[in-house]
Amino acid sequence: MAIRKFVSFFLQTITIGLAVAFLYVLVIEPELLHRQDRIVEVREIPETATAPEADVQPPAASGEPSGPVSYASAVERAAPAVVNIHTAKVITRRVHPLLDDPIFKHFFGDRFTNTRKEVQTSLGSGVLISRQGYVLTNNHVIEGADEIQVLLNDGRSTRAVVAGTDADTDLAVLKIDVADLPAIVIGNSKRLRVGDMALAIGNPFGVGQTVTIGIISATGRNHLGITTYEDFIQTDAAINPGNSGGALINARGELIGINSAIYSRTGGSQGIGFAIPISLAKNVMTQIIEKGHVVRGWLGIEAQDITPQLADTFGLVNTQGVLIAGILRDGPADNAGLLPGDVVTSIDGVPVADANDAMKKISARVPDTLIELSGIRQGESFSVQARVIQRPVLTQPRT
């Protein structure tokens, strides 16, 4: 009997509470009945509705910096200036070693030729630097080509001529004669920071213009054995065969590098790609256009980085500087009195970090000017002045 009264009392209490809540919502806060409806309306935007596109997401509530949600504007700005490059060259192949055998020739004479001419084609990319038709690309893309065809982003195709090449940086400049050409906006690669966004545009595997995205993984990469003068941008934006010579751009669509090489064990992208910074490429391109070749200073020395072991041997306090490992006889350095075993620590009063830094400082000097080298010789300080000459042009093709 007591339990039945308790249950009855409990149900009455709940009923009264619900009635009071209903009256409160109905009389005092009637807008609560419509709040859920407003939430649903915001979430379910009709597909036919139009809204302005946004490139940047709203600031995060936590105060963390926000980033672009789309790089379409950057790509639209740069892509028209990126071109596909098709090359063709005639090569001669041996048919079979047996045809050169003296016994075979004794019986058959010269009726069978042991050579056969074939046309070898390759694909690459390039970047239109000016509306006058100059295209910047890699030297290895067009090296040895008998014919070069440039395919523009708008579908037009034209033949190109080589304005000049520079094997030491793996750069080449082509010239095309077409009206109404786009030109890419050149950025500042010297301001790049690790973590900056980067996009690679090119023609990988010949599938057509493709855009990949990543970040700047490192700057100033050298000692890779790719070129003589190395100052590469490293990126994890996918770069594959066919991307060579294409554009590496920033989030604003500005050119910051020329895609040049990949590190790969399979031939495909593994997230380690290298691009020539536009600060270096622009200087090479300007000299090629104005002079037809690149002028660099040269002393005729073989420079070597200083290891901790070498530093102990020569009594140096650190590894900063460069060891002169060899000197060309009767070259500028030899005539100036520089000796093998000298450690050069500064050039023109500016400290030298390593061999790569020393070679860049020397090559940047105008030929027929004096350069001062200071350092340590057999434990004593020394300083010499050498007259820089123009670096000889390589007579043998690079491999």
Which tens digit of pLDDT belongs to each residue from 27-71?
555 544 444 433 222 223 233 333 333 344 444 444 555 566 789
- Segment 297-326 shows an average pLDDT of 88
How many CA atoms, within 13 angstroms, populate the side-chain half-sphere of residue 350?
A: 10
User: What is the maximal distance between C-alpha atoms in the chain?
Assistant: 128
In words, the CATH class of domain 186-291 is: mainly beta
Question: Residues of the chain with pLDDT > 70: what percent?
Answer: 74
How many CA atoms, within 13 angstroms, populate the side-chain half-sphere of residue 92?
A: 3
DSSP strand E in 95-231: where?
115-128, 134-138, 147-151, 157-159, 161-166, 171-175, 185-186, 197-202, 210-221
CB neighbours of residue 291 within 10 Å? 10
CA distance 237 to 272: 8
CB 148 within 8 A of CB 122: no
Report which secondary-structure segment, H or E, holds 362.
Answer: helix 355-363
**Is 392 strand, coil or helix?**
coil
Provide the pLDDT for residue 378.
87
Provide the pLDDT for residue 37.
36
- Segment 343-360 shows an average pLDDT of 90
Degrees to nearest 5, angle at CA 339 with 337 and 341? 155
| Cα 20 from chain centroid (whole Å) | 71
Minimum mean pLDDT among 10-24, 119-133, 339-353: which range?
A: 10-24
Question: 258 pairs with which residues across the strands?
Answer: 247, 276
As annotated, the active-site residues are 140, 170, 244
pLDDT band at 153 (very low <50, low <70, confident <90, very high): very high
In words, the CATH class of domain 77-175 is: mainly beta
Residue with token string 């786009």: 182
CB 300 within 8 A of CB 392: no
Provide the pLDDT for residue 180.
93
Which CA distances in Å does 26 have to 13, 16, 38, 75, 249? Answer: 20, 15, 18, 56, 60
What is the architecture of the domain spanning 297-390?
Roll (2.30)
Residue from 96, 91, 92 nearest 108 by CA: 96
Report which secondary-structure segment, H or E, holds 187.
Answer: none
Provide the pLDDT for residue 166.
93
**Domain boundary assignment for the chain:** 77-175, 186-291, 297-390
CA distance 241 to 207: 11
CA distance 345 to 321: 4
Q: How many separate helices (H) and strands (E) can be counted in the chain?
A: 9, 22
CA distance 176 to 149: 9
CB 207 within 8 A of CB 77: no
CATH fold match for the domains 77-175 and 297-390: no
CA distance 104 to 249: 59
Provide the pLDDT for residue 41.
28
For the cut 90, the answer to whether the pLDDT of residue 133 exceeds it is yes
φ, ψ for residue 262 (rounded to 5)?
Answer: -130, 155
